[in-house]
Structure 1
């Protein structure tokens, strides 16, 4: 699997990807926020700096291969995917579908910090009814001190949950149009925004040169999607350890080198047999 090829540094992200599929399938999902909108949902964990995909779980309804930790589908997914990286001091970023105080405490007890936006209606999230002016912060900590809930008023109220941050404001590179002063943002929001949307960026890049074609067979499209993911991961590693190259050119080079190797091997086995295989 991909995680055996590359071991990530501190910060990891967990999110869901949606592989476009328009055919009939019981487990097909509808996620309006995704570019594909309809398709097969795949939970993925990746290294935030390079978008290298470390592992994934394909959503197949009740039979989805996740461990039961008593935290619902979202919590159990987060508890299952990072198993390899628990007890090693990583920090995990998740969106508000996964975020809950119980999950964050569970991960904290396993030496893993977590950060994410949180729904204020989520169970065990304390009520903070303070009416804040723009730029003001209020926060609550759990009794154990493991988790902090922060509410910050920017253009609207922003709710965050973290085991890694404090209620601190930091300067950003953006400036106010009227005063020209540097804008201040909540530190947890700055870090979280760096991870937001990375999965969608990867999906868009893969779709520019993907291997899929129209088919009513979902397993065929899924196989080709995983193949595209493997090529994308190879591109991430090449960018990290090699020279800079556009993904389209890298994809073409992979095909060219693979074909050259395949052709040589076939030629040794016999030209007629090679030609017959290529025609099939």
Structure 2
């Protein structure tokens, strides 16, 4: 239902999905490694691909085709082929994993049971990482992410200092 809603709003989507989700088609139970099955309903493509384990994808932006992965099978020496949606998903997830790794070292999240606080700090970390990425593209100066965050905080404090409270007694 989510992918249908996104597609109706003009946004394509691709991602992994569990086979027991409501509305998912049925696939063969046991397949040999490298085998793939496609099911399409006109707007969505469901893919079941057997690699090291059973992988299931749902996409609204990919065709039902296989593509070369750029690697060779070490048993046969032939190029490895994977579904196009798997290759695209892996490429995009690499960037997400890298962003998660970078922010994990210096994230500002604190232990909290309030979901909205966790969400706020996650969004703050993401905004700072995006600013760092733009800074690296615009300026030749190479700066570590940790140093960028410190410099950002110092500049924000200088720009918006808190008024001093009088200790009148």
TM (norm. structure 1) is 0.48
Instruction: From the superposition, tell whether residues 180 and 275 of structure 1 become closer, same or farther in structure 2 (CA, over 3 Å).
Output: farther
1-side partners of 2:122 and 2:134: how far apart?
A: 19
1:59-111, Cα deviation, whole Å (9 max, x unpaired): xxxxxxxxxxxxxxxxxxxxxxxxxxxxxxxxxxxxxxxxxxx3322322332
Greater helix share, structure number: 2
Instruction: From the superposition, tell whether residues 163 and 228 of structure 1 become closer, same or farther in structure 2 (CA, over 3 Å).
Output: closer
Instruction: From the superposition, tell whether residues 182 and 231 of structure 1 become closer, same or farther in structure 2 (CA, over 3 Å).
Output: same
Matching residue within 121, 128, 132 for 1:235:
132
- Matched residue, 2:11: 112
What runs of 5+ residues in structure 1 fail to find an aligned partner? 1-101, 264-272
Instruction: From the superposition, tell whether residues 156 and 256 of structure 1 become closer, same or farther in structure 2 (CA, over 3 Å).
Output: same
Matching residue within 149, 155, 159 for 1:257:
155
- Matched residue, 1:61: none
1:122-174, Cα deviation, whole Å (9 max, x unpaired): 112111226432222222211xx111212122222222111211221111232
Instruction: From the superposition, tell whether residues 276 and 182 of structure 1 become closer, same or farther in structure 2 (CA, over 3 Å).
Output: farther
- Matched residue, 1:158: 55
Contact 1:137 1:167 in 2 (8 A): no
1-side partners of 2:32 and 2:115: how far apart?
A: 51
TM (norm. structure 2) is 0.74
- Deviation for aligned residue 1:262: 5.3
1-side partners of 2:100 and 2:46: how far apart?
A: 31
- Deviation for aligned residue 1:181: 3.3
**RMSD (CA atoms):** 3.4
Residue 208 of structure 1 aligns to a residue whose secondary structure is helix
Greater strand share, structure number: 1
What runs of 5+ residues in structure 2 fail to find an aligned partner? none
- Deviation for aligned residue 1:227: 4.2
Residue 13 of structure 2 aligns to a residue whose secondary structure is strand
2-side partners of 1:229 and 1:131: how far apart?
A: 41
Matching residue within 125, 128, 149 for 2:27:
128
